[in-house]
Amino acid sequence: MATKKMILDLDTGVDDALAIAYALAAPEVDLIGIVSSYGNCLVDQAAENSLKLLEILGATDVPVFIGASHSSTTDNFEVMQVSKDIHGNNGIGEVVLPTAKRPVESQSAVDFLIESAHKYSSDLIFVPTGPMTNLDAALTKDPTIAKLIGNVTFMGGALTVEGNVTPYAEANINQDAQAADRVMRSDLNIIMVGLDVTLRTLLTKKETATWRNLDTVAGKAYADVTDFYIDAYYNLGIDKTGCALHDPLAVGVALDMSFVDTIDLNMKVTYDENNYGRTIGDNSRLNNDSTNVKVAVNVDKDRYLKVFMDYLTNLFNNH
């Protein structure tokens, strides 16, 4: 058993699926649970996708919890068409996986996170790769966890590059900018893995062919799921060479910060109508003696991709 424990907070689409595999394959951490969110698909679909993926990866001991179904400021949520185009209507590239043999947990995602923070304290790593709604709700219910959780490494935001849903906003932050702003202003130790670095970290069909050639259930499933994503990137003109490893890069950085160069900032998220979802330094805290966010601005993409492929190929070869 590893000392470090990880909880993933996923709106389980294609790159979330890759994040699950990375967390399971990494020897230095135990994946102790997945909390579900909304974004790439609806929250119930996200949970179901996570259960199915865990099953084909032989990780049926990892519990899945239902989290928020919509943002902290709305009453419902509808999946954007662009999300369906990128991840498929089912979130996992239209690939049909066997129905999961176990249900989601009855405990709420928020209560599981709070309980885990008190149990594991500084050994707990929390990785949200969708909106911040669940984490914000947990902080509201029990503010003490901000000083307990060892690290929060999130995939989201954009500091030095444009957003991907507006000129300023990245999709995950855009789903619930108010929640993200409250998280950024908390006492948590945070690493931001945004579009600044994830768009530089690409996977191609050369790599997915490696998985397909393993001739295993997991290898073929993950190749099919990821090839859909790569094709979507090509067809939508996002990138003609490959797909970005958004969410698995956040998992990698959570475990090994040397993959990225960071700058220390006190961050905020704007949510006025002109700049909704913008992640930017907070002028009012610019001269504070301490900062709580490390923003990744460059990445050792070749070294990361090698570790990523070594981890996942070994995992898929055994399932």
Per-residue pLDDT for 65 more than 90? yes
pLDDT, tens only, 189-199: 999 999 999 99
Beta bridge partners of 264: 294
Fill in the DSSP letter of residue 111: H
Contact 208, 226 (CB under 8 A): yes
Q: Tokens for 61?
A: 């001991």
Q: In the chain, what are the helix, strand and coil shares in percent, each to the nearest 5?
A: 45, 20, 40
Mean pLDDT across 59-68: 97
Listing DSSP states for 119-152 in one string gives HHGGGEEEEE-S-SHHHHHHHHH-GGGGGT-SEE
Active-site option among 9, 11, 176, 227? 11
Q: Is the dihedral of CA 73, 276, 181, 199 positive or negative?
A: positive
Is 227 one of the catalytic residues? Answer: no
Q: Is the dihedral of CA 11, 12, 16, 19 positive or negative?
A: positive
Active-site option among 246, 247, 282, 319? 246
pLDDT, tens only, 81-130: 989 999 999 999 999 999 999 999 999 999 999 999 999 999 999 999 99
pLDDT, tens only, 249-291: 999 999 999 999 999 999 999 999 889 999 999 999 999 999 9
For 87-105, b/e burial (b = at least 16 CB within 10 A) is bbebbbbebebeebeeebb
Superfamily in which the 4-317 domain is placed by CATH? Ribonucleoside hydrolase-like (3.90.245.10)
Beta bridge partners of 151: 125
Contact 153, 127 (CB under 8 A): yes
Looking at every residue in the chain, the average pLDDT score rounds to 96
For residue 77, name the pLDDT band (cuts at 50, 70, 90). Answer: very high
For residue 2, name the pLDDT band (cuts at 50, 70, 90). Answer: confident
Is 246 one of the catalytic residues? Answer: yes
Which pLDDT belongs to residue 274? 83
Q: Indicate the pTM of the whole model.
A: 0.96
Categorise residue 133: left if φ over 0, alpha if ψ from -120 to 50, beta otherwise: alpha
